[in-house]
Chains A and B, each alone.
Chain A
Amino acid sequence: MRHTIAVLVENRPGVLVHIAGLIARRAFNIESITAGYTEEADVTRITIVVEGDNRNLEQVVNQLSKLVDVIKIVELTAEPLIERELALIKVKARPETRSDIVDIVEIFRAKIVDVNRETMVIELTGEETKIDALCEVLADHGIVEMVRTGKVALSRKPGAAKDSE
């Protein structure tokens, strides 16, 4: 099963590596890991998507909790969530295919952020499945390269992760 966990950590050099290393050592496959500042300047929020059964997850959460720099861990999988990912996709775009691509971009409510004679760069923010779908359609035109950020997630509940039990 896939799990999304949010880890609030002290904003300290090496902490991301330490956390990723600990998870990897437990033979967990990290599907995505993202880190960034939060509303508190000295706290980093790391969103991790991992694959594994529930017992393994319990172990990962327990082991991560042991790290002194970890302030809080919340498993988000079971909660109502807003999940987003950002992708930048560079796609082949010759003059005769360009309008086709523009149509696709519009349907997906994506954005064209760069154009030149041979390619276009498209930006899309959305749920993972939506990005997957766009990639699939654009694949017909030839994706030159692309980059995805990995998932960030926020619970819909009124409180903050740091305050939850």
Chain B
Amino acid sequence: MKMTGAQAIVTSLEKEGVELIFGYPGGQVLPLYDALYDCKLRHVLTRHEQGAAHAADGYARATGKVGVCFATSGPGATNLITGIATAYMDSVPMVCITGQVPLSVIGKDSFQEADITGITAPITKHNYLVKNAKDLPRVIKEAFYIARTGRPGPVVIDVPKCLMTTTIDFEYPETVQLRGYKPQAEGKPAEVEAVAQALAEAKKPLFFVGGGVINAEAAPLLRRVVETHRIPVIGSLMGLGAIPVTDPLFLGMVGMHGTVAANRAVMECDLLVGIGVRFDDRVTGLLARFAANARIAHFDIDRAEVNKNVVADLAVVGDLRWSLAALESAMADLGGEGGRRWEDWRLQVTRWSEEAPLSYQKSDDVIKPQSVIEEIDRQTKSEAVIVTDVGQHQMWAAQYCRFQRPRSFITSGGLGTMGYGLPAAIGAQMGQPNEPVVLISGDGSFLMNCQELATAVEHQLPLKVAILNNNVLGMVRQWQKLFFNQRYSYTRFANGGTDYVRLAEAFGATGLRAETPEELPEVIAKALATEGPVVMDIRVCADENVLPMVPAGAPLDQMINGEVK
């Protein structure tokens, strides 16, 4: 069939099952936007390209589908960068299509030209500068395949404007042929058997689950293995929700702001089985002391993760759906003993959980930020999709929300991107229109992409935003307090900060405010009962620390405020 390059892009996206695109137009993608005008694809106009990238990311994390965003060349494309890097660090499947200046003027510093494939090379799984319109269908087919298979990630397709108006014979390829890319779902059974053997020998085994489990949709499998053999589990930030947080076998998040039980368990275990984790330095603390008494087994789909940070004694490379299923059968020999085996170890770790639960000083005078999270969790019955920005509020959300299922916690882990929350929540809500979505943000983070409120209002999304407004850049202030002699250099917003109720109203959303602990439950209840987007300005006390805390570079058992009582 004859069609223009722009029509070919649109038709290819339809063939990939895309339903929703987030984007922002401009000169060099105009023909593509023109083609969108008469097709069935739904396009959401965000208010900033960074918003489009984060929204596509939030959509992908909430649904497991590939997120798609469009931007024009030059400034449009560079505005995507933070969103692309965020998705890359957390292995989120995404396809970004950017306009480029016409082929004839590429490389001449033309108006709105930027070398976007060059710029994004280190932060994409792969990228393309398309030079020939007839390649468009193949490139799009490949891009989606690369984005969603193996270790997922973002792919950029840069399309010079002239290709969008060239007529081609459209034919969508059925298969992908890439010599250099053959993700292997199934690994070596012997590697799995070695781990099962190590488990049989272990006295203090510990599972450590990460975002890979959620990406691979392998959480039910993992849960089965854990329940059958009753092995204690800790999670990374990205792994929260893989095992219900309320499961007694789940000891909580590990690392800098992890629980006492999780961090002590790492220091004490004799076999640590990392599953879809990348042993980030926020997790390991001082590497030399991390799990020093343990053999380490590592399950991952990405071979390059093995031995990257922590040297693994045993490694299983492959899709977790394959490897965990294989582990399940290899462990079957451990049999019904599962309940009794490791009982002492289990008792020990659960004792730590009971003796040193997450806690904070309650107050009747000021709203404690932790209490806001607890109240949101209570009122949403731990069923909402929780999205966060980055800072103290993010860590409190990770600590105090009782996540019950995968994809219920959406947060920027690897890059730690402030401004991620609102657009990601918009994407998540559009991907899961029937789920309650609550964004927990900080005043600093929220201001970074607050313009996306306009997008939420335009689509009347039922999104609820809770700003834990401490009028400071809380997490940075915490570091200044603990490690810089309370020299609070530029972390307080002058003049009392912004009026978020009026800001919300200016955008056409509902604004609510809570200033005292008594008002808090009502305000949250009202927000949840109000239609459309609601912003809650919750005035929390500023001088609060996220605890426990392992100082950067310290071993995990050196926790500030992490004593076992």
A32 beta carbon closer than 8 Å to chain B = no
B122 beta carbon closer than 8 Å to chain A = yes
A70 beta carbon closer than 8 Å to chain B = yes
What would be 20 A-B contacts, judged by CB atoms less than 8 Å apart?
A13-B129, A14-B117, A14-B118, A14-B129, A17-B121, A18-B121, A21-B122, A55-B311, A59-B308, A62-B306, A65-B304, A66-B125, A67-B180, A68-B126, A68-B146, A68-B180, A68-B181, A69-B126, A69-B180, A70-B180
- Give chain A interface residues in 15-33, CB to chain B under 8 Å: 17-18, 21-22, 25
A58 beta carbon closer than 8 Å to chain B = yes
B217 beta carbon closer than 8 Å to chain A = no
Interface centre among A9, A58, A68 (most CB of B within 10 A): A68
The answer to whether B180 and A9 touch across the interface, beta carbons within 8 angstroms, is: yes
B181 to A, closest residue via Cβ: A68
A19 to B, closest residue via Cβ: B121
A10 beta carbon closer than 8 Å to chain B = yes
- What CA separation (Å) do A22 and B125 show in the bound complex? 12
B178 beta carbon closer than 8 Å to chain A = yes
Contacts of A58 in B (CB 8 A): 307
Interface centre among B178, B181, B302 (most CB of A within 10 A): B181
Contacts of A67 in B (CB 8 A): 126, 180
B2 beta carbon closer than 8 Å to chain A = no
Beyond A59-B308, A62-B304, whether A71 also contacts B179 by CB under 8 A is yes
Contacts of A21 in B (CB 8 A): 121-122
Q: Mark A51-94, 1 if CB is under 8 A from B, else 0.
A: 00001001100110111111110000000000000000000000
- What CA separation (Å) do A69 and B304 show in the bound complex? 16
Beyond A25-B122, A68-B126, whether A10 also contacts B307 by CB under 8 A is no
- What CA separation (Å) do A25 and B122 show in the bound complex? 9
Q: Give the 10 A-B residue pairs with the shortest CB-CB distance, closest first.
A: A62-B304, A68-B126, A71-B180, A68-B181, A71-B179, A70-B180, A18-B121, A63-B304, A62-B303, A66-B304
Contacts of A72 in B (CB 8 A): 180
Contacts of A13 in B (CB 8 A): 129
Contacts of B302 in A (CB 8 A): 66
Q: A21-B122, A66-B304 are in contact. List 10 more A-B contacts (CB 8 A).
A: A9-B180, A10-B179, A14-B117, A55-B307, A55-B311, A59-B304, A62-B304, A62-B308, A65-B304, A68-B178
Beyond A58-B307, A59-B308, A68-B146, whether A10 also contacts B180 by CB under 8 A is yes
- Give chain B interface residues in 80-130, CB to chain A under 8 Å: 117-118, 121-122, 125-126, 129
* A148 nearest CB across to chain B (Å): 27
* B138 nearest CB across to chain A (Å): 14
- What CA separation (Å) do A62 and B298 show in the bound complex? 15
A-B contact count, CB below 8 Å? 45
B126 to A, closest residue via Cβ: A68
* A65 nearest CB across to chain B (Å): 7
The answer to whether A68 and B118 touch across the interface, beta carbons within 8 angstroms, is: no
Contacts of B308 in A (CB 8 A): 59, 62
A contact set with B: CB distance below 8 Å: 9-10, 13-14, 17-18, 21-22, 25, 55, 58-59, 62-63, 65-72
Q: Mark B144-188, 1 if CB is under 8 A from A, else 0.
A: 001000000000000000000000000000000011110000000
Contacting B125 at CB < 8 Å: which of A14, A68, A70?
A68
- What CA separation (Å) do A10 and B178 show in the bound complex? 10
Size category, B interface: 10 to 19
* B213 nearest CB across to chain A (Å): 20
B179 to A, closest residue via Cβ: A71
Contacts of B181 in A (CB 8 A): 68
* A139 nearest CB across to chain B (Å): 39
A73 to B, closest residue via Cβ: B180
* A92 nearest CB across to chain B (Å): 40
- What CA separation (Å) do A22 and B126 show in the bound complex? 13
Interface centre among B121, B122, B146, B302 (most CB of A within 10 A): B121
Beyond A58-B307, A65-B303, whether A22 also contacts B122 by CB under 8 A is yes
- What CA separation (Å) do A58 and B308 show in the bound complex? 9
Contacts of B178 in A (CB 8 A): 68
* B552 nearest CB across to chain A (Å): 20
Contacts of A22 in B (CB 8 A): 122
The answer to whether B180 and A59 touch across the interface, beta carbons within 8 angstroms, is: no
- What CA separation (Å) do A9 and B129 show in the bound complex? 17
B121 to A, closest residue via Cβ: A18
Contacts of A71 in B (CB 8 A): 179-180
- What CA separation (Å) do A71 and B180 show in the bound complex? 4
Contacts of A55 in B (CB 8 A): 307, 311
- What CA separation (Å) do A24 and B303 show in the bound complex? 20
Contacts of B180 in A (CB 8 A): 9-10, 67-72
Contacts of B146 in A (CB 8 A): 68
Q: Mark B284-312, 1 if CB is under 8 A from A, else 0.
A: 00000000000000000011101110010
Contacts of A14 in B (CB 8 A): 117-118, 121, 129
The answer to whether A17 and B118 touch across the interface, beta carbons within 8 angstroms, is: yes
The answer to whether A59 and B307 touch across the interface, beta carbons within 8 angstroms, is: yes
- What CA separation (Å) do A21 and B117 show in the bound complex? 13
* B160 nearest CB across to chain A (Å): 14
- What CA separation (Å) do A98 and B295 show in the bound complex? 67
A13 to B, closest residue via Cβ: B129
Contacts of A62 in B (CB 8 A): 303-304, 306, 308
Contacts of A59 in B (CB 8 A): 304, 307-308
* A27 nearest CB across to chain B (Å): 13
Contacts of A70 in B (CB 8 A): 180
- What CA separation (Å) do A99 and B450 show in the bound complex? 79
* B278 nearest CB across to chain A (Å): 13
B153 to A, closest residue via Cβ: A66
Contacts of A18 in B (CB 8 A): 121
- Give chain B interface residues in 225-269, CB to chain A under 8 Å: none
Contacts of B117 in A (CB 8 A): 14
A58 to B, closest residue via Cβ: B307
- Give chain B interface residues in 26-62, CB to chain A under 8 Å: none
- What CA separation (Å) do A69 and B121 show in the bound complex? 12
- What CA separation (Å) do A55 and B178 show in the bound complex? 28
Contacts of B122 in A (CB 8 A): 21-22, 25
Contacts of B129 in A (CB 8 A): 13-14
- What CA separation (Å) do A132 and B303 show in the bound complex? 39
Contacts of A65 in B (CB 8 A): 303-304
- What CA separation (Å) do A55 and B125 show in the bound complex? 23
* A45 nearest CB across to chain B (Å): 13
